[in-house]
Each structure stands twice: as C-alpha cells, then as structure tokens.
C-alpha cells in the first residue's frame, strides 16, 4: 500500500465516523439537521479523497458527477412533501443500480476472480438489480403510474421461487468459474431485474411502508457487497449501517400491522381478503354538518387529530395546522396522534405536518396517546381508516384483528372526515363509523377543514 492509498483510507475512517455521528444526531429533531449535514460532510470527504487515486479518467467522472448532481438537486427541490415516498423509492433504486453497475464494471475489467470475490460480485449485482427494479415498481405504485393494488396471478409463489432458484444456481455456476461465465453474469442481471418486479407487484399500496423499508435495507446490503468486491471498508461500513437501518424500520412497520414480513411479502393483502370481514354492522351512521362539527370542537378542551394517507392525498396538512392554531387560540389543547404505518412510508405524516409548521412536540405516537385516550374530548380522524378500526381489537374474524390501532373510539367524541362510505384500502368496513359517539363529516378533507376554519373565523 503506498502513502496516497494509506492516507485515502485514513480519510475513509473519518468519513465513517461522521456517518455514525450523523445517524446518532438523528435521534432528536433538534439535532437531526446538523446530523444530516455532518453525514453529508463525511460523504463529501470520501468523494474528494477518492479523486486522488492515481490513474482515474477524470473526463468521464466529471460527466457522471455533473449529470447526477443536476438531476439529484432538481428532483430534491422540486418534489412535493406529499410525494416524498416515491422520491425516496426512486433515489433508492438509483443506489441499487449503481451497485449493480459497479460490480459489472469491476467484473468486466478483471474477469479472473477468486471464488469469494465472484460470490460477492454476484450478490452485489443481484441485490442491486432487485433494489433497482423493485424500487421502480414501488415508485410506479406510489406515484399511481401503475395500479397500486396488489397484482396477483395464480402460481405466483411458484414463479417467484423458480426465479430465485435460477438466480442462486447461476450465482453458484458463476462463482465456480467467473472467467468464462460472462453470459451467465448477464443472465444474473436480467433475472435480478425480473425478480425485483415480480416480488413487488403482489404487494398492495397500504403495505408500501414495509416494502420501502425493505428495499432501503437491500440498497445498503448491495453497497456492502460492492464493498467486498473492491475490498473497501467505507462501502462495507456505510452499507451495513443502512442495511441495519432498513431492517429495523421493516420490523417496526411489520409490528405496527401485526403481520410477519413473510405475510406482507407473499400474501397480497387487500386482494385476497376482500371478501372477509365485510359483515353487517350494528348501529347507524350519524352525519354531521360543518356547523355541528364547529360546535363540538368549540366546546372541546382537548382535541387530537389523527391523520392518514387521505390527508396527504387531499393536501390538507396546511388547513389542518390552521384549524389547530385556531383551536389553540380558543384555549383547546391540540395534539396530532400518528400511527406508525399511517401514510405510505414510515414517518410520512410527521413530515407533512412539519411542512405545515406543526411543532414537533405536538406530534404524539400511538403508544403515548392510547393510555390517555379516555380524557380526550374530540378525536378528528382525517383520511385514516384501518389504523383506527376498533375491529382490530374486538372482531376476531376481521383480517386486521390484532393490529395495534389508535383507540379513537374511546374518546368522548370522534369526528371522521371521509369522502364517502367506501371501505378503506384493505376493503374492510370500519366499525368505528357505527359507534354512538362517532359523527361522520362527509366531503373532501381539505374543503371540509376549510369550512371549519371559516366557521371559527366568522365567529
């Protein structure tokens, strides 16, 4: 190892330290921003020192970096906060394809690989490929460019199993004799891309938080494998950190839906369970007008808003914040109760409300609000459905039975904002709508809240 290489590798150690500190600072909203900047600084340092390796072809590096920077910045600053899940999916996919291309390029330059290096080259290309095509499908579903419902066909598991088996067999054949297996490598690339598509299409829209978390983890593992290919510690450390992060988020999301990862990945929820749990409900629907809702809110001492994906669709975060503000001026205690899987990615609702200037200490987690739900005067459910369905607690025949929910039905009054009586994503009728303390306030979420704001202002 010559001096330059040694110095470069020492700089990588510093970068790794900055990544770790950056992630550590993400544990509080107060320090999170500096944490991210620290992590970005670590990345910049790693990039700059890498350019000191001798024999690089700067012309092409500049081309790649300029294109990437322009596209990345434009995308990052143009994207709406409500579209954040698809943006993350897209960036994630690009990270995956970069690992695939890197492995390919290394293999192309040095086809004589040891068995170990050949194996990690296979993993880097395979996982990178799945990450890319899987993320593209997730992006398409989230941006509603392709149907977000689970797409199921008969024999799907057999097809997926066969593809996976084919990939593993070609991986082994490739690792045995990499120098003469260029064609097999290309087969691996194609199979990986195919597998990404077939494994994500059967997963429905509401399960997207799990899928995005998992793909996030894959992209880290792919980077890690690429690190083994080129024997580079910084890729291994950073990739492992991301891999661990994705796995933890996946676990949290699964727990919040009371389902195993296998169930999310293989069951096609929402398509197969539609028939179940749509039984007759007891009780009746009580509709309320803007004026009724205004009087209820005006008299309340404490109000908890419970947002869901519908809030994002209706872009109602700003009016909701305005209403919250008016309620506070009226002496009401306002909080926002957020279910871990509300929205289409982990923490989706928190970002939207932060965008609308809601103070982060008003955002409360499910486990925090549930014990004191009995003391809440009014819960306002905005575009959330399954995450507040009491059937999850009581009805053993319900497909969502056992899933932890925000127990809004225990509040003194529940106001549910809803476009119509259509059941939610999972196709399950919501028992909450038929509770005696529930009032249904029909209409577009944004317009409905706007009307309430108007009532408060004209007062």
* Distance, CA of 374 to chain centre: 31
**Span 11-40, contacts to another protein by CB under 8 A:** 12, 19-20, 22-24, 26-30, 32-33, 35-37, 39-40
What whole-number distance in Å separates Cα of residue 442 and Cα of residue 313? 16
Task: Return the SS3 of 78.
Answer: helix
Residues 6+ apart with CB under 8 A from 201: 137, 150, 151
Which residue in 80, 177, 233, 375 binds another protein (CB under 8 A)? 233
In the complex, the smallest distance separating the C-beta of residue 37 from another protein, rounded to whole angstroms, is 7
**Catalytic choice (386, 395, 444, 459):** 386
In the complex, the smallest distance separating the C-beta of residue 423 from another protein, rounded to whole angstroms, is 27
In the complex, the smallest distance separating the C-beta of residue 133 from another protein, rounded to whole angstroms, is 14
Name which of 126, 107, 49 is nearest 230 in CA terms. 107
Name which of 119, 105, 98 is nearest 220 in CA terms. 98
Name which of 83, 73, 138, 93 is nearest 351 in CA terms. 83
User: Closest CB to another protein among 205 and 277?
Assistant: 205
Q: Does 317 bind another protein (CB under 8 A)?
A: no
Which residue in 187, 230, 271, 290 binds another protein (CB under 8 A)? 230
Contact 198, 160 (CB under 8 A): yes
What whole-number distance in Å separates Cα of residue 447 and Cα of residue 316? 8
Q: Does 211 bind another protein (CB under 8 A)?
A: no
Q: Does 157 bind another protein (CB under 8 A)?
A: no
In the complex, the smallest distance separating the C-beta of residue 286 from another protein, rounded to whole angstroms, is 33
**Span 321-340, contacts to another protein by CB under 8 A:** 321, 325, 338, 340
**Span 385-414, contacts to another protein by CB under 8 A:** none
Say how many CA atoms lie within 13 Å of 158 toward its Cβ. 3
Q: Does 347 bind another protein (CB under 8 A)?
A: yes
Q: Does 212 bind another protein (CB under 8 A)?
A: yes
Name which of 68, 89, 93, 64 is nearest 79 in CA terms. 89
Q: How far is CA 414 from CA 135, 210, 270, 375, 396, in A?
A: 37, 29, 26, 13, 23
How far the first Cα of the chain sits from its last, in Å, is 77
Q: Does 246 bind another protein (CB under 8 A)?
A: yes
Active site residue 386: yes
User: Closest CB to another protein among 87 and 426?
Assistant: 87
**Span 38-97, contacts to another protein by CB under 8 A:** 39-40, 43, 46-47, 50-51, 53, 55-57, 60-61, 63-65, 67-69, 71-73, 75-77, 79, 81, 84, 87-88, 91-92, 94-95, 97
Residues 6+ apart with CB under 8 A from 125: 99, 100, 103, 104, 107, 185, 188, 189, 192
In the complex, the smallest distance separating the C-beta of residue 372 from another protein, rounded to whole angstroms, is 18
Q: How many CB atoms lie within 10 A of CB 13?
A: 12
Contact 87, 119 (CB under 8 A): no
Contact 223, 238 (CB under 8 A): yes
Which residue in 134, 171, 204, 243 binds another protein (CB under 8 A)? 243
Which residue in 144, 357, 372, 375 binds another protein (CB under 8 A)? 357
Site string for another protein, 103-142 (x = CB under 8 A): -xxx-xx------x--------------------------
Q: Does 101 bind another protein (CB under 8 A)?
A: yes
In the complex, the smallest distance separating the C-beta of residue 309 from another protein, rounded to whole angstroms, is 14
Catalytic positions, please? 386
């Amino acid at each position: 190892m010559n001096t330059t290489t040694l110095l470069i590798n020492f700089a990588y150690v510093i970068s790794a330290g900055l990544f770790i500190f950056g992630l550590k600072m993400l544990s509080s909203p107060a320090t999170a921003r500096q944490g991210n900047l620290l992590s970005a600084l670590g990345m910049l340092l790693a990039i700059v020192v890498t350019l000191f390796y001798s024999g690089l072809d700067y012309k092409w590096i500049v081309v790649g970096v300029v294109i990437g920077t322009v596209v990345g910045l434009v995308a990052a600053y143009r994207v709406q906060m409500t579209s954040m899940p698809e943006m993350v999916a897209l960036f994630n996919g690009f990270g995956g394809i970069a690992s695939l291309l890197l492995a390919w390029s290394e293999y192309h330059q040095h086809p004589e690989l040891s068995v170990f290096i050949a194996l990690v080259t296979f993993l880097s290309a395979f996982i990178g490929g799945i990450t890319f095509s899987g993320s593209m499908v997730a992006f398409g579903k989230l941006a509603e460019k392709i149907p977000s419902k689970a797409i199921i066909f008969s024999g799907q598991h057999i097809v997926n199993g066969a593809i996976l088996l084919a990939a593993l067999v070609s991986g082994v054949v490739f690792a045995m004799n990499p120098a003469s297996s260029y064609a097999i490598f290309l087969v691996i690339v194609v199979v990986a891309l195919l597998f990404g598509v077939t494994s994500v299409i059967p997963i429905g829209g509401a399960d997207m938080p799990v899928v995005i978390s998992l793909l996030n983890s894959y992209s880290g593992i792919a980077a890690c494998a690429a690190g083994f290919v080129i024997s580079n510690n910084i890729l291994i450390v950073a990739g492992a950190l991301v891999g661990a992060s994705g796995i933890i988020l996946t676990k949290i999301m699964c727990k919040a839906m009371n389902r195993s990862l296998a169930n999310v990945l293989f069951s096609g929820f929402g398509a197969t369970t539609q028939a179940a749990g749509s039984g007759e409900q007891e009780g009746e629907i009580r509709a309320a007008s803007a004026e009724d809702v205004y009087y209820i809110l005006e008299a309340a001492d404490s109000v908890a808003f419970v947002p869901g994906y519908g809030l994002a669709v209706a872009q109602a975060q700003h009016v909701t914040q305005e209403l919250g503000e008016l309620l506070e001026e009226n002496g009401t205690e306002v909080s926002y109760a957020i279910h871990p899987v509300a929205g289409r990615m982990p923490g989706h609702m928190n970002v939207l409300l932060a965008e609308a200037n809601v103070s982060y200490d008003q955002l409360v987690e499910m486990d925090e609000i549930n014990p004191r739900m009995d003391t809440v005067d009014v819960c306002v459910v905005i575009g959330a459905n399954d995450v507040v369905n009491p059937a999850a607690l009581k009805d053993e025949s319900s497909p969502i039975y056992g899933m932890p929910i925000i127990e809004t039905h225990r509040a003194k009054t529940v106001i549910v904002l809803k476009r119509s009586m259509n059941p939610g994503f999972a196709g399950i009728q919501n028992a909450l709508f038929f509770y005696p303390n529930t009032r249904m306030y029909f209409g577009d979420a944004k317009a409905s809240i706007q009307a309430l704001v108007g009532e408060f202002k004209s007062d």
